[in-house]
Amino acid sequence: MGKEAKTNAMRLLEKNKVEYKAYSYECTEFTDGIQIADTLGLPHDLVYKTLVTVGKSKEHYVFVIPIEAELDLKKAAKAAGEKSIEMLPLKELTPLTGYVRGGCTSIGMKKQFPTIVDVSAEAREKIVVSGGRLGSQLELKPGDLIRVARAKTADVVVE
């Protein structure tokens, strides 16, 4: 992979000596995680999406959950220690994180936000998350993602 193709997320993983596999694909606009998994021929249960939320306190939280799952806002609020939580309005995503919709990852945002990875990731040998831009995905060990994103795990998806 050429130097110009590296994202902030990749640089941060390398700085932390984390092994990862980068996937790239043609993409010019937002594509959901299921379409991305299908494009790359990856099992859906391996691919996780990154969601940014805002709590009642106005603090922001990042959640990393399986692509086929839905964030349970009640469980998410409890895990974040908030009374309530809601999805961040899309227009606020890029100014807040530095990432665009479909290219958002919990690694290397403009600011380090409290990050919660769904507990299902702990049972996996590897997971795939966004690489930090459209057309980029990263495969890595869940423990490495949790360490580099300074995340914790919790059950935060709708059953």
HEC string of 24-53 equals ECCCCCCCCHHHHHHHHCCCHHHEEEEEEE
Q: What is the CATH number of domain 3-154?
A: 3.90.960.10
pLDDT tens for 15-63 read 999 999 999 988 877 778 899 999 999 999 999 999 999 999 999 999 9
Q: Which tokens sit at 22?
A: 């980068």
CB 11 within 8 A of CB 5: no
Report the phi/psi class of residue 15: left, alpha or beta, with left for phi > 0 and alpha for psi in -120 to 50.
alpha
Whether the model pTM is above 0.85:
yes
Return the percentage of the chain with pLDDT > 90, whole number: 83
**Confidence at residue 93, expressed as pLDDT on a 0 to 100 scale:** 95
